[in-house]
């Protein structure tokens, strides 16, 4: 592996870690997991959470990101 390729890899990996770190810092403020359309029910210490709306939003965001990165 040449140093130029290693440098590109480290820049991309560092950028991804920066973005993930920022998301983790603000994760409590993001509405993921508490969106309208997420189902939550239970009783007597038993709770079920089904994040339907959150899964749809995350799927759409990942689709946009991967389509952008693939160059289509």
52 Cα distance to chain centroid: 15
Q: Which residues contact 47 (CB under 8 A, 6 or more apart)?
A: 40, 41
Question: Are 15 and 37 part of one and the same domain?
Answer: no
Provide the domain limits for residue 6.
1-30
Tokens coding 71: 């160059």
Question: Are 41 and 10 part of one and the same domain?
Answer: no
Q: Which of 7-11, 31-35, 41-45 has the lowest mean pLDDT?
A: 31-35
Pick the more confident residue, 30 or 68: 68
Q: Yes or no: say if 53 and 37 are a contact pair by the CB < 8 Å rule.
A: yes
Domain count, the chain: 2
Task: Note if the pTM is more than 0.85.
Answer: no
Q: Which of 30-39, 41-50, 63-72 has the lowest mean pLDDT?
A: 30-39
Percentage of the chain beyond pLDDT 70 is: 96
Question: Are 20 and 36 part of one and the same domain?
Answer: no
């Amino acid at each position: 592996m040449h140093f130029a390729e290693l440098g590109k890899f480290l820049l991309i990996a560092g950028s991804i870690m920066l973005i993930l770190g920022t998301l983790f810092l603000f994760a409590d403020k993001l509405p993921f997991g508490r969106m309208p359309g997420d189902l939550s029910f239970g009783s007597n210490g038993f709770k079920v959470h089904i994040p339907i709306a959150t899964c749809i939003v995350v799927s759409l965001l990942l689709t946009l990101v991967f389509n952008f990165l693939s160059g289509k």
